[in-house]
Amino acid sequence: MDSRPCLILFGPPGSGKGTQAKLLRQTVGMAHISTGDMLRERIASGDELGQAVKDIMQSGGLVSDELVNRLVEERIAQPDAEKGFILDGYPRTVAQARLLDCLLRTRAIRTVVVHLKVDYNVIIARLSGRRQCPNCGALYSLSPNSPAVSEVCDYDGSRLIVRDDDREEVVVERLKAYDSQTAPVLEFLRQASYPCFDVQGEGRAPQAIAREIQNLMEQELATGGGRA
């Protein structure tokens, strides 16, 4: 039986779930598993599976649900996940959720689901207000992390740009896609009896949000909850 905790963290683009995962990794020692990072790391490894992923992505194809789940299964076996792990942006589809459910149930991993709730108008303003240095990659926002000189990188003086995926019309489409894709996944997890919580993800310090998530997990697991 596997007694590790698992947090499945959902949130629309720009909701701060990456920030929350990093804070929780620091405070409770759980590994942060982002499927995007995981795929990039596997490609960089150059092994057989990494080459297969690279070939699929270079051809413009989508990595299959089965392959993504295989990568996740291997990833959670790594030493840094021994104290538990946070799944950030995964599962993305009901098919992935079904395969993950089987993995978690087989290993009896105690699991809690948290959905960060952020008003979409706030997200649109937040993302469309981001700027990036085209040379060093530094990210800024119009507020509060603005550059010392408007629209100019603090580090190398380059003129800042708006990333294509941060343009307002693109952000709106990303949010629509998130809604259509994620709602069925959350419903599947609820129906599968995983404890699911909505957490307010705006208008509060990131540390306060992380403490609420940590408390929810600790309370749920302490009372014998958490789908296993």
Catalytic residues: 17, 92, 130, 163, 174
Residue with tokens 């789908």: 227
Q: In this structure, what token pair is assigned to residue 147?
A: 């550059």
Contacts of 157 (CB under 8 A, 6+ apart): none
Task: Please list the residues that pair with 139 across neighbouring strands.
Answer: 132
Q: Where are the alpha helices (DSSP H) in 46-167?
A: 48-58, 65-75, 94-107, 120-128
Please state the φ and ψ torsions of residue 134, each to the nearest 5 degrees: -70, -15
**Rounded CA separation 93/71 (Å):** 15
* Beta strand pairing call for 130-132 and 139-141: antiparallel
* Beta strand pairing call for 110-117 and 130-132: unpaired
